[in-house]
């Protein structure tokens, strides 16, 4: 943790660039602990593959199994995972055991997200890997590409992954506002699961539990359900990484799905959490920068993460690029119908057994609305017009000037109107999460139910 009170210039991630704002020197800036990046990332990954956590080295496991088909799953474009850096040495180890590129399929774990575009695949993997291996998108609503692994409750998984002789999960460990931390089991559920399973994983009761929150695994029902599904499928080897604010590799966690992920999650929790003993009058944050903040849907993570730092009169100012608009058609429809009536929305989903795709994002969003209301949730973007934003459960900051200027103008106006206000800035947005005393005592901020 690094809390400074003498800075006036702060960078906020916004799409592929930063916005620069100024705040009073009395403002608090909450950032993650300073971490050292790996000087030789390639060497670090190779070393981790040879000395994994909780299991034998990858090469030894492969030689024992002698698989005919190896499946590797990677995250989709919404996560800034250095896939090319991970997959290249991974293939080298497989080659050394006699596995050819033709025996490897790389599956992009889209969950219920849209398929990847050719440009995104090139950005995620690079031309060389795309030419070397078969690369496919998971499609959770295509029964021809799924295979059932459980009947009660029914669970189906990507068939190419489930039927592979050796299954490898890759990914990024970072704070996650529902599941505690990303990575590990999430590389299977929701990444490779059928739509019904994903909906159950994100159902109202699961997310109404206050333990479905950032930085918590123990007792988190979202984590528990995801792990249950991953165990049903079976994962032979995990490769997870952590990165710093500049997307440079900071840690590598290889080996057993659960043991390696837990080590990484504990490390990320130490790096990215910040203990607070107060709430603030103004919170300034952002949607996470590219690629996370390309939709309003994903920007909700930036809205929800600072919840422990809010009192009922807090104003939250969040800026997010939203270059791809609102989100999926079902999510957009939900927001157009319910965005101005979050109470009615919560009542409707709490009494329905039908889970609409992406309704879970608005359910999490509603946690903040229950705390501070729509009026005090101020949103800045250059990509969605003001009238549309008003339908999305936020109060837009209008104006013709660019996002950076509107953010600054809002902050200056707020300070003029509230000269003694307490202000906190989260330069890393949802990647730094505050822990209140209640959370530290095992009672995280209450959910909407």
**Rounded Cα–Cα distance for residues 363 and 316 (Å):** 18
Residues 171, 137, single domain; the answer is: yes
Among 231, 254, 270, the domain boundary falls at 270
Residues 288, 256, single domain; the answer is: no
Burial 304-330 (b: 16+ CB within 10 A, else e): bbbbbbbeeebbbbbbbbbbeebbbee
Element of type H or E holding 224? helix 221-233
Residue 445 domain-assigned (yes or no) = no
Percent of the chain with pLDDT over 70: 96
- The tens digit of pLDDT for each residue in 332-361 reads 999 999 999 999 999 999 999 999 999 999
pTM: 0.91
Helices 359-372 and 296-304, packing angle to 10 deg? 40
Residue 81 domain-assigned (yes or no) = yes
- Predicted pLDDT at 424: 98
Residues 251, 322, single domain; the answer is: no
Residues 24, 83, single domain; the answer is: no
**Three-state DSSP state, 281:** strand
| Confidence band for 152, pLDDT divided at 50, 70 and 90 | confident
Residues 82, 159, single domain; the answer is: yes
Residue 370 domain-assigned (yes or no) = yes
Residues 215, 102, single domain; the answer is: yes
Residue 231 domain-assigned (yes or no) = yes
Instruction: Please compute the mean of the pLDDT values over residues 31-51 and round it to a whole number.
Output: 94
| Confidence band for 2, pLDDT divided at 50, 70 and 90 | very low
Residues 6+ apart with CB under 8 A from 304: 177, 214, 364, 365, 367, 368, 430
Instruction: Please compute the mean of the pLDDT values over residues 263-269 and round it to a whole number.
Output: 96
**Rounded Cα–Cα distance for residues 449 and 428 (Å):** 29
**Rounded Cα–Cα distance for residues 286 and 380 (Å):** 9
Residues 179, 54, single domain; the answer is: yes
Residues 6+ apart with CB under 8 A from 253: 48, 53, 173, 238, 239, 240, 241, 242, 260, 261, 263, 264, 267
Among 213, 243, 270, the domain boundary falls at 270
**Rounded Cα–Cα distance for residues 6 and 23 (Å):** 10
Instruction: Please compute the mean of the pLDDT values over residues 19-23 and round it to a whole number.
Output: 96
**Rounded Cα–Cα distance for residues 384 and 16 (Å):** 17
Residues 76, 94, single domain; the answer is: yes
* Residue 449 in this model has a pLDDT that exceeds 50: no
Residue 448 domain-assigned (yes or no) = no
Residues 266, 280, single domain; the answer is: no
| Confidence band for 448, pLDDT divided at 50, 70 and 90 | very low
Q: Are strands 70-75 and 104-109 parallel, antiparallel or unpaired?
A: parallel
- Predicted pLDDT at 439: 57
**Rounded Cα–Cα distance for residues 374 and 316 (Å):** 10
Among 270, 300, 317, the domain boundary falls at 270
**Rounded Cα–Cα distance for residues 130 and 187 (Å):** 20
What total number of domains does the chain contain?
2
Residue 36 domain-assigned (yes or no) = no
Residues 252, 280, single domain; the answer is: no
Residue 447 domain-assigned (yes or no) = no
Residues 48, 92, single domain; the answer is: yes
Mean pLDDT score across all residues of the chain: 94
- Predicted pLDDT at 446: 36
* Residue 442 in this model has a pLDDT that exceeds 90: no
| Confidence band for 246, pLDDT divided at 50, 70 and 90 | confident
* Residue 204 in this model has a pLDDT that exceeds 60: yes
HEC string of 82-128? CHHHHHHHHHHHHHHCCCCHHHEEEEEECCCCCCCCHHHHHHHHHHH
CA 426 to the chain's CA centroid = 17
- Predicted pLDDT at 432: 96
Count of H helices and E strands in the chain?
16, 21
Instruction: Please compute the mean of the pLDDT values over residues 103-126 and round it to a whole number.
Output: 94
Residue 302 domain-assigned (yes or no) = yes
- Predicted pLDDT at 3: 46
Residues 369, 230, single domain; the answer is: no
Range of the domain at 413: 2-31+276-440
* Residue 323 in this model has a pLDDT that exceeds 60: yes
CA 242, 221, 290 angle in degrees (round to 5)? 35
């Amino acid at each position: 943790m690094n809390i400074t009170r003498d800075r006036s210039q702060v960078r906020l991630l916004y799409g592929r660039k930063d916005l620069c704002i100024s705040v009073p020197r009395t403002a608090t800036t909450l950032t993650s602990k300073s971490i050292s990046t790996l000087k030789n990332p390639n060497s670090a990954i190779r070393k981790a593959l040879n000395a994994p956590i909780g299991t034998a080295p990858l090469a030894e496991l492969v030689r024992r199994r002698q698989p005919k088909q190896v499946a590797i799953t990677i995250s989709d474009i919404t996560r800034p995972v250095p896939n090319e850096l991970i997959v290249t040495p991974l293939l080298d180890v497989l080659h050394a055991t006699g596995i050819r590129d033709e025996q490897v399929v790389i599956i992009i774990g889209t969950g219920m997200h849209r398929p990847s575009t050719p440009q995104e695949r090139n950005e995620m993997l690079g031309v060389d890997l795309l030419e070397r291996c078969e690369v496919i998108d998971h499609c959770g609503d295509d029964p021809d590409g799924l295979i059932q692994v459980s009947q009660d409750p029914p669970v189906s998984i990507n068939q190419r992954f489930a039927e592979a002789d050796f299954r490898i999960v890759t990914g990024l460990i970072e704070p996650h506002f529902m599941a505690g931390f990303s990575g590990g089991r999430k590389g299977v559920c929701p990444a490779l699961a059928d739509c019904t399973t994903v909906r159950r994983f994100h159902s109202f009761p699961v997310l109404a539990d206050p333990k479905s929150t950032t930085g918590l695994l123990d007792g988190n029902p979202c984590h528990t359900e995801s792990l249950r599904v991953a165990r049903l499928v079976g994962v032979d080897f995990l490769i997870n990484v952590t990165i710093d604010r500049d997307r440079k590799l900071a840690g590598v966690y290889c080996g057993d799905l659960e043991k390696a992920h837990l080590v990484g999650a504990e490390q990320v929790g130490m790096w990215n959490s910040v203990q607070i003993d107060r709430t603030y009058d103004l919170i300034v944050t952002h949607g996470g920068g590219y690629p996370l903040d390309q939709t309003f849907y994903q920007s909700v993570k930036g809205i929800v993460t600072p919840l422990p730092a809010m009192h009922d009169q807090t104003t939250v100012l969040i800026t997010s690029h939203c270059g791809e608009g609102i989100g999926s058609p079902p999510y957009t429809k939900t927001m157009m119908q319910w965005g101005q009536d979050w109470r009615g929305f919560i009542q409707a989903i709490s009494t329905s057994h039908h889970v609409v795709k992406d309704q879970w994002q608005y359910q999490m969003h509603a946690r903040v609305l229950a705390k501070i209301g729509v009026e005090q949730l101020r949103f800045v973007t250059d990509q969605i017009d003001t009238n549309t934003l008003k339908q999305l459960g936020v109060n837009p900051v209008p104006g013709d000037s660019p996002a950076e200027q509107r953010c600054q103008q809002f902050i200056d106006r707020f300070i003029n109107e509230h000269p003694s206000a307490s202000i906190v800035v989260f330069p890393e947005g949802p990647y730094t999460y505050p822990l209140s005393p209640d959370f530290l005592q095992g009672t995280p901020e209450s959910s909407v139910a």
